[in-house]
Chain A
Amino acid sequence: MSARILAILRKELLHIRRDPRSLVIVFLLPILMVLLYGHAVTFDIRDIKLGVIDEDKTPAARELVEGMVSSNYFRVSGTLERREEIGEAFLHRRMIAVLIIPRGFGAGLGSRSSTEVQVILDGSNANTATVALNYIRAYFTSRSLQANALLLQLPIDLQPRVWYNPDLKSVNFIVPGLVVVIMMLICALLTSVTVARERETGTMEQILVSPVRALEIIAGKTLPYILLAFVDGLLVIVFAWIWFSVPFRGAPLWLLFYALIFIYTCLSFGIFISARVPNQQLALMFAMVSTFLPSILLSGFVFPLASIPRVLQLLSAIVPAKYFLVIIRGIMLKGMDGAQLWQPALFLVLFGTLLILISVKRFKINLEG
């Protein structure tokens, strides 16, 4: 390695060491995010707060409610007397679904005609309402089947099996996404901020009057962050494995290889930003808006890309996180062979190279501003 790259590299390490608070954040943040996302952002909803209006008051009605509660998906959070009370209960969030068992339910159950129950849902959180409704539907379908022996033989018997994540645990789905977001955050955000800091203090100018080449500056400044990003990614995976038993089914070496490619793309993004903004604050804002947010919102990390509007889908095509997410989920959850994932990797390489090529030229010229 050239003496000039080494000099920059050594100095960058000194900066990191002199600032232990930032270092703590760099290592604490990933753990905190795993804990938060793992525990809080869960899409499987349990203990749905159910209200009951039992106008029938028969053993059959009571059994219906007990059956729901025993599934563990529902918890009776209150009984109401009249329908007029539902609005009040929703407003105070005491319940999100109310089951109404009308008079004659028990009697009707024995007869030949079908009998009715009603469910009213609080749709202000559409996600929860949808999930709750699905659970309720599933429950009543199976109850109906039990009630009517004639229908016991269905023409088609569906036998579902969910692969790669049999229990449909959200955390398995979230953790690979977290690795992506954290790597992106460290690489793109930290590099763009450090370059902007040098521009602010005037030291970048002092470096640029020396014979150092733009690529040497970039290499020296980014290498320490490559290391940090790796350590953080590893930290997330290992911690999630210990704490949430998130599986790792594929070959770690393939993931390591693709992670390098992703880091390369992220760093290019960081350099691309820093070649354009004059100070740290702008760099921080710009990096947040252009890397961090899309990595969470437009990568498929939280929201499935298939269900977002067409325009945003097109936009997501240039979000690097989206491609690495395909790779990391493929390797961690599906145990895919790395060679099958060359397509998203190729995109990352091309995108990163494009950004670097634009930035290297821009890097020096930008000083004139």
Chain B
Amino acid sequence: MEEHYSVVAEEISRHFGDFVAVDRISFKVRDGEIFGFLGANGAGKTTTIRMLCGLLLPSSGKARVAGYDIYTESDRIKADIGYMSQKFSLYEDLTVAQNLEFYGGIYGLRREELSRTIAEAIATTDLKQHLDKLTRDIPAGWKQRLALTCAILHAPRILFLDEPTGGVDPISRREFWGLIYALAEKGTTIFVTTHYMDEAEYCNRLSIMHDGHIVALGSPRELKERYGKPNIEELFIDLVRRQSRAAEAGA
């Protein structure tokens, strides 16, 4: 059954000194689904994503990404995943085209292959008009598209997006989700973290994180029905309050 899952995490934790950022969480992401991580800042979303991408080693637990073990096969994982961080890690002093060439290049794409891939990618993301502009001169929404394009040049099987829509206007956000849907339709598995409630609704399945724990997991509809809430926002607030009360009672 394992090969039907893009990500399988079992009891993974990460400590920073005494602070427990992620506390023994387990979940599975199916191939081709859009899997969301919803949570407040500091809930442990970014730490989880960084562990799965090989940027951070877990303190304990097991996980497989694209079928590979994150401890021993991180090199193979890296070839199969794309990653876009909340900072849109781009070179502001380079042009849009130069950014694309660089990120394609570090995945080992050679000249002809590189220019063909870039041509295809910019056709879908509409970046053509900005190719020769300096990255610092284009609006945030376009930077976000550029960061996404850079992350998918090597046609990854799984795409990790860490709060990809921060600081971007609502229209750009909507369009960005259009691109994500298009990628998912082509079979790319999407793992996305967010703290926007409306974005959570766009996901096939959603896991709600609070204080390093997963407090609920299921499709948005299932979750709303299970807890009897009209929308994700109320559901989220209700869950977080319950957790805080439980924590106080425990203390």
| Chain A residues packing against B (C-beta within 8 Å) | 2-4, 6-8, 10-11, 14-15, 18-19, 201-203, 205-212, 367-368
Contacts and interface: CB of A to CB of B under 8 A. Distances in A.
Contacts of A367: 55-56
Contacts of B79: 211
B87 to A, nearest CB: 4
Contact of B78 (A2, A15, A211): A211
A266 to B, nearest CB: 25
Nearest to A7: B105
Contacts of B83: 206, 209
Main secondary structure of the interface of B (DSSP, over half): loop
B94 interface: yes
A153 to B, nearest CB: 77
A335 B176 CA distance: 67
Contacts of B81: 209
Contact of B85 (A2, A6, A15, A205): A205
B195 to A, nearest CB: 19
Interface string B128-155: 0000000000000000000000100000
Contacts of A14: 93-94, 98
B57 interface: yes
Contacts, number: 78
Interface residues of B, number: 30
A203 B56 contact: no
Given A11-B98, A205-B85, A18 B93 contact: yes
A7 B89 contact: no
Contacts of B53: 209
A206 B108 contact: no
A2 B105 CA distance: 10
Given A201-B87, A205-B85, A209-B53, A3 B102 contact: no
Contacts of B163: none
A4 B106 contact: yes
B107 interface: yes
A207 B151 CA distance: 11
A202 B147 CA distance: 12
